[in-house]
Amino acid sequence: MNFAWLKRSMPKGLYGRAALILVLPIAVLQIVLAIVFVQRNFEGVTDQMMRSAALELSYLSALVEDAPDLEAARGEIAPVADALAIDWALPGEEMRGYRRAFYDISGRVVILRLEEALPNLRAVDLASSLRRVTLQTETPHGPLTLQFDRRRAAPSNPHQLLVLMGILAIVMTGIAFLYLRGQLRPITRLSAAAEAFGRGRVVPYKPSGATEVRAAGHAFLDMRSRIERQIEQRTLMLSGVSHDLRTPLTRLRLGLSMLTDESEAEDMLNDIAEMETMLGTFLDFARGEALDDPQKVSPAGLATSAVENGQRAGGTVSLGRVPPDEVQVTLRPLAVERALANLVGNAIRYAGKAEVSVQVGERAVVFTVEDDGPGIPEDSREIALRPFARLDTARNQDKGSGVGLGLSIAFDIARGHGGTLRLGESERWGGLRADLVLPL
């Protein structure tokens, strides 16, 4: 059997599923108890009470039928009916059919027992008054109408148990919901802390709740500490390597500058400059976004700064559509500036002109850098995001040099914010379109 439709209709959140697990058994239990009570207890008691009342009604009907005339019948039934507290009328106003309210559960049993005890039964009225039973039989002296208290035919206030069960179920379910919320709150806090850490933010978190939740919380804190130590060690290692390599490179540059033949030293000086650029790029990749903390910034200001820096570097960079300066979001400004600088730098290196634009939505802010260059083929875009990847066939390497870390740094910063870097084709410019998507 295919239960896919059932899975689609189930709650998606943990709180909804736990509430369903809690409420469903209580509801089923209440329904089963109500059915058992109504069918076995309530209807059974009504059946026993009606059998006793039916004997009295049958006796009164027999007294009327055996009487020789109407006056004798009245004389026979009057003292007995008064003693039994049964109202009577002979002849009574004609009645037809059986009437009962749709919610009158015991009424079906009452009518059934009256039919068995009174062969000449012609009408039963249980709807006009829920506290009285009115019936009419056919006799030789006319229709005999009998009326008596409903409490003699069925238990009084049978709904009290059902109402009590319902009220207790609601109260206990409410208490269980409060307890359930308290038990799920530590899980929600753990989820929020993990999500914030995935976006590059470290929020205070202390394990609490059940033993299993506390164990998961301590495991998360240990994992977070190990990741932070690993990032710190990577940064320190590459910083140390960069510092150690800059010293001999500086000595080489100094030695080359003392040569009398500048033509011989020019190529080697260019190689040294390129090596220094590579070391700086490696260090930027290792640092990632660890240099600043999240704060409220203007996305338009970040985009404007990236455009101005690109223009100062000699590129043709323009500012596209951006939100007002009053719009602010929580980001790591230095990290985002570094990512935009790499995207704009790539656009300047491989294209003639570029444009930077910003869109702020309810759930994310998107920085877009478009250029009119050769672009990147669709099957190579995933490779372009990898560290040290250089797509010689897709980009014109004669226009600049690089180590293949520009897009990787931007992608790493986006993932540090919990977002991503999407590469596509620019519809306006015809070149590469890079969307830096950062969730809010």
How confident is residue 396, by pLDDT bands cut at 50, 70 and 90?
Answer: very low
What pLDDT is recorded for position 170? 84
Name 198's Cβ contacts closer than 8 Å, sequence gap at least 6: 418
What pLDDT is recorded for position 315? 82
Rounded Cα distance between 282 and 265, Å, is: 26
SS3 letters for 318-353? EECCCCCCCCCEEECHHHHHHHHHHHHHHHHHHCCE
Sign of the dihedral defined by the CA atoms of residues 104, 106, 110, 112, in that order? positive
| Per-residue tokens: 282 | 């490696």
Residue 93 is classified by DSSP as P
| Per-residue tokens: 59 | 């006796």
Q: Give the residue with greater pLDDT, 72 vs 249.
A: 72
Amino acid at 283: L
Lowest-pLDDT choice from 95-109, 200-214, 254-268, 343-357: 254-268
Q: Are strands 121-125 and 97-99 parallel, antiparallel or unpaired?
A: parallel
288: left (phi over 0), alpha (psi -120 to 50) or beta: left
Q: Which of 107, 174, 160, 155 is nearest to 135 (CA)?
A: 107
Question: Cα–Cα distances in Å, from 180 out to 54, 166, 208, 211?
Answer: 53, 20, 14, 15
- Stretch (H or E) spanning 145: strand 142-149
Q: What is the rounded average pLDDT of the residues 163-183?
A: 82
Question: Cα–Cα distances in Å, from 139 out to 59, 67, 123, 156, 259?
Answer: 13, 10, 13, 31, 141
pLDDT of residue 35 exceeding 60: yes
What pLDDT is recorded for position 397? 43
254 and 269 Cβ atoms separated by less than 8 Å: no
pLDDT of residue 288 exceeding 60: no
Rounded Cα distance between 420 and 364, Å, is: 11
Q: Give the residue with greater pLDDT, 30 vs 366.
A: 366
Q: What is the pLDDT of residues 201-237, one digit of tens each?
A: 778 888 888 888 889 989 989 998 888 887 777 767 7
Rounded Cα distance between 79 and 74, Å, is: 9
| Per-residue tokens: 325 | 């300066």
Average pLDDT, the chain: 80
Q: What is the rounded average pLDDT of the residues 387-408?
A: 56
Q: What is the pLDDT of residues 150-169, one digit of tens each?
A: 888 877 665 666 777 778 88
pLDDT of residue 399 exceeding 60: no
What pLDDT is recorded for position 219? 92
314: left (phi over 0), alpha (psi -120 to 50) or beta: left
Quote the percentage of the chain above a pLDDT of 90: 4
| Per-residue tokens: 329 | 């979001």
Amino acid at 186: P
The model carries a pTM of 0.50
What pLDDT is recorded for position 275? 73
In angstroms, the first-to-last Cα distance of the chain is 42
Q: Which of 329, 330, 356 is nearest to 342 (CA)?
A: 356
What pLDDT is recorded for position 400? 46
Residue 377 is classified by DSSP as -
What pLDDT is recorded for position 284? 62
Quote the percentage of the chain above a pLDDT of 70: 82
Name 344's Cβ contacts closer than 8 Å, sequence gap at least 6: 306, 307, 309, 310, 315, 317, 354, 356, 369
| CA-based R_g, the chain, Å | 44
Q: What is the rounded average pLDDT of the residues 4-29?
A: 75
DSSP-assigned beta bridge partners for residue 98: 124
pLDDT of residue 59 exceeding 50: yes
pLDDT of residue 30 exceeding 80: no
Q: Give the residue with greater pLDDT, 52 vs 264.
A: 52
Q: What is the pLDDT of residues 328-382, one digit of tens each?
A: 888 888 888 888 888 888 888 888 788 999 998 888 899 999 988 888 888 888 8
What pLDDT is recorded for position 394? 45
